[in-house]
Amino acid sequence: MPYYIGDVIKNEEQLIARTPEQFRQTGIDVRIDTRVDRIDPKAGAVLLTDGVAVPYDLLVLGTGTTALMPGIPGEDRQGVFTLKKLADALRIKAWIRELPCRKAIIVGAGFVGMEMSEALRNLGIETSVHHRAKLPVNRWDPELAKAVLAELESHQVRFVTDAEALAVQEGKTHRLRLVTSRGEEEADLILMAVGIGPNTDLARQMGLPLGRTGAVQVNFSQRTGREEVYAVGDCAESFHRVSGRWVNIPLGDIANKQGRVAGANIGGGNALFPGIVGSQSFKVFDLEVAATGLTEREAVEVGFHPAGTLIWGNAIAKSMPDNSKLGLKLIADRATGRLLGAQAVGRKGAVGRINVLAAALWAGMTLDDVGWLDLAYAPPFSGAWDPIHIAAQELRRKI
Amino acid sequence: MPYYIGDVIKNEEQLIARTPEQFRQTGIDVRIDTRVDRIDPKAGAVLLTDGVAVPYDLLVLGTGTTALMPGIPGEDRQGVFTLKKLADALRIKAWIRELPCRKAIIVGAGFVGMEMSEALRNLGIETSVHHRAKLPVNRWDPELAKAVLAELESHQVRFVTDAEALAVQEGKTHRLRLVTSRGEEEADLILMAVGIGPNTDLARQMGLPLGRTGAVQVNFSQRTGREEVYAVGDCAESFHRVSGRWVNIPLGDIANKQGRVAGANIGGGNALFPGIVGSQSFKVFDLEVAATGLTEREAVEVGFHPAGTLIWGNAIAKSMPDNSKLGLKLIADRATGRLLGAQAVGRKGAVGRINVLAAALWAGMTLDDVGWLDLAYAPPFSGAWDPIHIAAQELRRKI
């Protein structure tokens, strides 16, 4: 009988509870609210904190990530949150309802910070984002990040630049006070969205090799350093097809795919996870923000000689009533013309373009290919020359 | 001085007139409202109907297509239109305004028929589509074509199946009467949207070889059978990268690309048009309809052994409020697993998926690649498993 140990969320509207009993009927022993103390790979047993030893022949680690805290005084105060698991979201919702919460501070301007600024503003909560850098979303070109900043500001999100969080204190007009290198601000809720790191305690303790990224090393079958132990999802590395390096990009679709590969292999199949190209996206208010492949800095790090170009094109044909501007950046290798990465921001069409370019990266296309791709043109969906063509041909001329 | 001979449209709101004078200032002699009678390739001269001979060193044919008529009695009556050029659209608009037009009949259910049914309904005009087959948009799988039909019907477009147009007569309650194999219907306007064919009279007369498709044969430089004569756009063939055949797919984006290739070569460059994969799309009311690559029938014709699968997936994550269903069909070769074609229909996300699959076709990907493509997942834009993955993995298991 296979075992599943972990915290299975069992409440709130959209979720259909899958109780341990329901699982047991399907032949799976699910143990919720159960902590694993350590794993004994020689004995082939998972040791629970209550002293019980659960034996295994094959083991899958899916320990995920933990949201990082800045490590400042007062960060453990009531009303300071991170957002990683559904349980975190439920706690935040409960806190907002109870107070009620009129004002929120988000520390950090990555995916979670951006998505939560929209969610909080949609609840009518006054929201500030305090960020270490001058612009949000570090991964994107400054010109595209400025479009994200403008979107935040047009929805009355206050953006505080160059702010290093120093302490959380008790507030006067609001519950809490955030002290930063740029001053102080009070709020009823503080969300720490400063990053995440893979949970590798169990893996390390049982002697599994970790990669350069700090996540668990796996091969293309999702096997770890031990033949009988698999690792999947955010705690594990993935092969990046553009850089040729093993990376740790904790995203849900990658976790899903790795889980399927491990499952197929455990079931007697011979599945390989063919890797990733670094595609990612999020929505912030009315803006689509997406990227794939390498940034220029990452490209240099792995030995490419990147050149980039950034254009503002039309998301759909210029003559159409709903047209809006699309910012698209392409990065390619000077020596070979090979596409290395892409970033896009726009009210519509950004994710669609990035997905096409993700397929191009997957195939190892050069700009000569990308500039002539046969896309399904019609005025409601694009111009006859898509921003993809325009950017690729422009960058081709440049290098 | 280069010459341009043809009918340059010079009126209506959105168009900024580019007069022959303006062109002449840029060094181009544009002659509008001018017919070319024939071309004398030995003398290197274009002979106009008014007897003038315009000499050339290099010649570009961009003669386009003509909308076909069914060839039935009365089809030349006032109020019977085709829609190919902007001038046609202006004539139709003028006719609708003058009458006024309360009722319209469209003969044919391809791109033009579908787009015009939306345009006419948006003007409040009662609209019928009479079509030879049982379903609209022959290129799409019957299950997807049914979704298009449902969209037409939900916007009060009457769809008459198996209707062969036989004659156009004078009407009683409306201006005109269409007689078909299925009966009679009256209307103030009849649009013949039964197809188009390449204009090759001049090419044939000057002895240029035509392809199997009836369009002008060209090489990858857009040169015709004569070194000094180029042909581009709807009158010329294109290389289909999936079938390996030369085809004639008259679409604006292909014409644009071929024009750029010919222009670059004439300017002393060495450009090649790398071909197409058959991508196309249109919008009908709230539906995106798109396809790329080969149909099963076309795949068989060129020697593949196709298998297909059709799924209904989620355009965006199932949990999101604006989710809608997306129909996606994939076609692949049984022998090699190579992707051969794709078709999609949905309220959103259909064109985006087809563009990704167009890039996959361009690169010659197999289902093993397509099923694991790294797309930019976020719930507002897709599920963790995109319909592309689901369909590709399903078809992979099937073959």
pLDDT tens-digit readout, A230-249: 999 999 999 999 999 999 99
Q: What is the pLDDT of residues A71-115, one digit of tens each?
A: 999 999 999 999 998 899 999 999 999 888 999 999 999 999 999
* Cβ contact, residue pair B355, A352, below 8 Å: yes
Per-residue confidence (pLDDT) for residue A318, from 0 to 100: 86
Q: What's the predicted TM-score (pTM) here?
A: 0.94
* Cβ contact, residue pair A279, B319, below 8 Å: no
CA distance, residue A77 to nearest chain B CA (Å): 31
Residue B225 is classified by DSSP as S
Return the residue in B375, B389, B394 with the most chain A beta carbons within 10 A, the one to mutate for interface testing: B375
- Name the residue facing B276 among A251, A351, A374 (closest C-beta): A374
Residue B10 pLDDT class (50, 70, 90 cuts): very low
Rounded Cα gap, residues A34 and A206, in angstroms: 19
B123 inside 8 A of chain A by CB = no
Reported as half-sphere exposure (CB side, CA atoms, 13 A), residue A37 has a value of: 10
Q: How far is CA B312 from CA A253, A359, B344, in A?
A: 19, 22, 10
* Cβ contact, residue pair A378, B257, below 8 Å: no
Return the residue in A86, A251, A374 with the most chain B beta carbons within 10 A, the one to mutate for interface testing: A374
Search chain B and give the residue with CA nearest A373: B359
| Amino acid code (one letter) for B143 | E
Search chain B and give the residue with CA nearest A355: B375
CA distance, residue A233 to nearest chain B CA (Å): 13
CB interface of B with A, residues 31-60, below 8 Å: none
CA distance, residue B287 to nearest chain A CA (Å): 11
Region A28-53: mean pLDDT is 90
Instruction: Report how far apart the first and last C-alpha atoms of chain A are (Å, whole number).
Output: 59
CA distance, residue B375 to nearest chain A CA (Å): 5
CA distance, residue B182 to nearest chain A CA (Å): 33
Query: What proportions of chain B, in percent to the nearest 5, are helix, strand and coil?
Result: 25, 30, 45
The residue whose two tokens read 């290099």 is B58
Q: Kindly provide the ipTM of the predicted complex, given to two decimals.
A: 0.94
Helices (H), B8-70: 20-25
Rounded Cα gap, residues A158 and A152, in angstroms: 8
Strand A189-192 relative to strand A196-198: parallel, antiparallel, unpaired?
Answer: unpaired
Rounded Cα gap, residues A275 and A240, in angstroms: 6
* Cβ contact, residue pair B365, A362, below 8 Å: yes
CB interface of A with B, residues 188-247, below 8 Å: 241
Question: Which chain A positions have a beta carbon within 8 Å of B374's beta carbon?
Answer: 241, 253-254, 275-279, 292, 358, 362
Mean pLDDT of all residues belonging to chain A? 93
* Cβ contact, residue pair A374, B14, below 8 Å: no
CB atoms within 10 A of CB B76: 9
Per-residue confidence (pLDDT) for residue B18, from 0 to 100: 61
Specify the range with the lowest mean pLDDT, choosing from A278-287, A325-334, B262-271. Answer: B262-271
Instruction: Examine the pLDDT at A10 and tell me if it is beyond 70.
Output: no
Residues 6+ apart with CB under 8 A from A205: A38, A39
**Number of residue pairs across A and B with CB atoms under 8 Å?**
151
B253 inside 8 A of chain A by CB = yes
Per-residue confidence (pLDDT) for residue B9, from 0 to 100: 42
Query: Taking every pair of C-alpha atoms in chain B, what is the biggest distance, in angstroms?
Result: 70
Length of chain A: 399
Search chain B and give the residue with CA nearest A344: B376
Strand A80-81 relative to strand A246-247: parallel, antiparallel, unpaired?
Answer: unpaired
Tell me which range, A15-29, A292-306, B93-107, is most confidently predicted by mean pLDDT.
A292-306
Phi, psi of A311 (to 5 degrees): -120, 155
Instruction: Examine the pLDDT at B5 and tell me if it is beyond 90.
Output: no
- What does the block give as tokens for A263? 């499952």
Per-residue confidence (pLDDT) for residue B322, from 0 to 100: 82
Percent of chain A with pLDDT over 90: 87
Question: Which chain A positions have a beta carbon within 8 Å of B256's beta carbon?
Answer: 384-385
Rounded Cα gap, residues A243 and A206, in angstroms: 30
Instruction: Examine the pLDDT at B7 and tell me if it is beyond 60.
Output: no
Region A3-21: mean pLDDT is 52
Return the residue in A375, A389, A394 with the most chain B beta carbons within 10 A, the one to mutate for interface testing: A375
Contact indicator for A242, A79 with CB cutoff of 8 Å: no
B78: exposed, middle or buried (Cβ count in 10 Å: 0-12, 13-18, 19+)? exposed
Mean pLDDT of all residues belonging to chain B? 93
Strand order through the sheet with B36-40: B36-40, B45-48, B53-55
Question: Which chain B positions have a beta carbon within 8 Å of A276's beta carbon?
Answer: 374
Residues 6+ apart with CB under 8 A from A119: none
Search chain A and give the residue with CA nearest B385: A253
3-state secondary structure of B344: strand
Per-residue confidence (pLDDT) for residue B16, from 0 to 100: 45
Region B134-138: mean pLDDT is 97
Closest CA to A132 of A73, A191, A74, A194: A194
* Cβ contact, residue pair B374, A290, below 8 Å: no
3-state secondary structure of B24: helix
Residues 6+ apart with CB under 8 A from A311: A327, A328, A329, A387, A390, A391, A394
Closest CA to B328 of B314, B310, B348, B340: B310
CB interface of B with A, residues 300-339, below 8 Å: 319
Per-residue confidence (pLDDT) for residue B11, from 0 to 100: 41
The sign of the dihedral angle between the CA atoms of A207, A211, A216, A222 is: negative
